[in-house]
Amino acid sequence: MKFATKVIHAGIEPDPSTGAIMTPVFQTSTYVQEAPGAHKGFEYARTQNPTRAVLEKNLAALENGADAVCFSSGLAAQDAVIKLLRPGDEVLSVNDLYGGSYRQMVRVYGPWGLKSRYIDMADATSVEAAIRPETRMLWIETPTNPMLNIVDIAAVCAIAREKGILTVVDNTFASPYLQNPLDLGADIVLHSATKYIGGHSDVVHGCLIVKDSALAEGLHFIQNASGAVPGPQDCFLILRGIKTLHLRVQRACENAAAIARHLAAHPKVEKVYWPGFEHHPNHGVARKQMRMFGAMVSFDLKNNTPEAARTVLSGTRLFALAESLGGVESLIGHPASMTHASIPREERLKVGLTDSLIRLSVGVEDVSDLIDDLDAAIAKA
């Protein structure tokens, strides 16, 4: 099955009891047994839920995995992955990691004994040199947030495999339509399905996809034993969102490309970050591992002051000032005070995340309306 067919059909059958074409929302906490232990594969809804089971089959197919494991949020999915480690183990990750991921690793798991280190992974050879004996997991995010750096997934996973280190790729920014890390050698793919996979800014959800059945079993054990499971209504909404994933992401990427090029030529704009530019340091890698270049664009103004940035941020009418990304509607955000406020300022500045950096999540509206909206707001800055 090709991607556009999988989003609609993979793992999805009409409901056997009614013929309902849409997977029902099995809003139940338990299942009746005919005799002790005699049941239909469903005992208690933290452990198994039919709506969630269909979603997990569908997600596994989208990432070319063997199994998927769903959670109540992207960070709950990350939490389950970290629980595969032991005190004293180290996670090596990118130095512009998603703020919430960084906060969990440092502030929740730091006191518990997890070591974490953050490096520039744009050059894969520097990753090899950074690995220490206690490094048990490589945590890749690409494209990164909000600097839109690109990590060569195949190259980094090959280094990790040789040393027996588990690789995790946070594929939230790309979505399964643009990039499939398991095909490039990753062990675990993580999505905040809150973003592109759900796609309508109406649900918080996370998932993990793996190829290896022992790893899947371990993660399903943590899913049940720790209990951060999604409700069936949320699983239904994610299943519905997925049906148009390829259409939404394709249009959003086309719009983002037009906006990135427009901003790059704008007299008031200093710098635009978008992996589709030929001068982007890892454009070649992006071209190799992604289907399109994504729908996230960051930029700095020539008037590089927080005040000028604030004028743009509150001056758009279509781009809504909000956290999050990946929905059908365009959003504008200020990483330094919003998504990345939990990262110390010195750390932010080291990676180019200035106090005036503006981040766009480009949606699927008419692109000329979006460009007019940005131009009007930038004119005031």
Ligand X SMILES: *Cc1c(COP(=O)(O)O)cnc(C)c1O
Q: Interface with ligand X by CB under 6 A: which residues?
A: 73-75, 98, 100-101, 141, 145, 170, 172-173, 192, 194-195, 204, 206
Looking only at the bridges linking them, the beta strands covering 135-141 and 166-170 are parallel
Q: What is the DSSP string of 107-124?
A: IISTTTT-EEEEE--SSH
* Residue 152 is among the residues annotated as catalytic for this protein: no
The minimum distance between CB 289 and ligand X, in angstroms, equals: 17
- Of the candidates 183, 335, 182, 370, which has an alpha carbon nearest to the alpha carbon of residue 260? 370
Burial of 171 (0-12, 13-18, 19+ CB in 10 A): buried
Return the number of the residue (180 or 377) whose C-beta is nearest ligand X: 180
Taking Cα atoms as reference points, which of 293, 208, 283, 290 lies closest to residue 258? 293
Which member of 15, 46, 183, 261 is catalytic? Answer: 46
User: Of 173 and 319, which has the nearer Cβ to ligand X?
Assistant: 173
Radius of gyration in angstroms for the set of CA atoms belonging to the chain, rounded to a whole number: 21
**Residue 93 or residue 354: which is nearer to ligand X going by CB?**
93
The answer to whether residue 170 is catalytic is yes
Query: CB 351 → ligand X: shortest distance, Å?
Result: 15
How far, in Å, CA of 26 to CA of 364, rounded?
32
The amino acid that residue 140 corresponds to is I
Q: Closer to ligand X by CB, 12 or 168: give it.
A: 168
Nearer to ligand X, 11 or 206 (CB): 206
User: Which residues are registered as beta bridge partners of 169?
Assistant: 140, 189
Of 89, 170, 187, 373, the catalytic one is 170
Angle formed at CA 326 by CA 191 and CA 283, multiple of 5 degrees = 80
Coil, strand, or helix at residue 90? strand
| Look-up of token digits 């460009």 | 371
**Amino acid, res. 64:** N
> Could you say which of 195, 251, 348, 359 is catalytic?
195
Q: Quick check: is 123 catalytic?
A: no
Per annotation, catalytic residue among 52, 67, 98, 152: 98
CA pseudo-torsion sign 137, 143, 145, 148: positive
As a residue count, the chain comes to: 381
The least distance separating ligand X from the CB of residue 376, rounded to whole angstroms, comes to 28
Closest chain position to ligand X (CB): 74
Backbone angles phi, psi at 333, to 5 degrees: -150, 165
Rounded distance, CA 334 to CA 354, Å? 10
Compare residues 184 and 204 and give the one whose CB is closer to ligand X: 204
251 is catalytic: no
CB of 194 to ligand X, least distance (A): 4
Active site residues per annotation:
46, 98, 170, 195
